[in-house]
Structure 1
């Protein structure tokens, strides 16, 4: 899968329905500006960022990244996608390990 295919599979993050309307509007406008400039959804890994700071982190990151040239943004997007994939794999392995017990890698149990 190349980066274009991976980006097509991503969706823009959304806010909880209880979030203030202004936050929804600001995020929607920022995403639209980003997609208009670069032709794909904005991707950011928020691992380690408290949920209460997600909107602010995303808005600051979009504003910063809108100033990038296409090549710089493509490289940063690829890195963010690697971080997302790494986090998703860790989550899957952690869930599998806790629900199924140890599993084997090269014949050795892994917990």
Structure 2
């Protein structure tokens, strides 16, 4: 770490950041961490391989670029490990039933879990947002939906990466926590 020098002050070394830890982690550890954000081995490999990142914006840009380059097989790999977003525990049972039914129809039509990035959506609005998303996207043809799902996966990966760097959780999805192959 290089000390920060202020005129007339003693130089104090900068504290390491989460980004510093990510940049300095062994490649296998970095890939494992990235796989918690997006379950594409190719995406994780590409993002990990371009370390060190000078700042978070550079890391997020690399994440986006790698996600835009996902092949059909990479997207299938990522979608295979996604799960339906969870509802708060205090949601009424009819909400769980409605979401389960809508999701079953979606999975039957497209062959993979419904993915949606909820971002800053308040927990009280998550259910409505998810149901509206499933219902509107059921009208898509399979190829059109694959494009929409790829964009949602890209946004989810970026959001999860930001959450990891902040050390916070994300209500955007209920994603399995263990990386595949570990």
Q: TM-score range by the shorter chain?
A: 0.7 to 0.9
Residue 68 of structure 1: how far off its partner (Å) = 0.3
More helix by percentage: 1
Q: 1:3-62 CA distances to partner (integer Å, 9 max, x unpaired)?
A: 111011111112223211110100000000000000000000000111100000010111
1 or 2 for the larger relative contact order (CA 8 Å, sep ≥6)? 2
Q: 1:78: how far off? A: 0.3
Q: 2 CA distance for matches of 1:61 and 1:12?
A: 12
Are residues 1:18 and 2:86 paired? no
TM-score (norm: length of structure 1): 0.82
How does 1:30-109 map onto structure 2 within 5 Å? Answer: 30-95=102-167
CA distance in structure 2 between the partners assigned to 1:10 and 1:76 by the alignment: 15
Maintained 8 Å contact 2:88/2:123: no
Measure the CA separation in 1 of the matches of 2:154 and 2:80: 15
Q: What secondary structure does 2:167 align onto?
A: helix
Runs of 5+ unmatched residues, structure 2 = 1-39, 41-73, 169-182
**Which structure has the greater CA radius of gyration?**
2
Partners of 1:26 and 1:95 in 2: CA distance: 32
Aligned-pair Cα RMSD in Å: 1.3
SS of residue in 2 equivalent to 1:91: helix
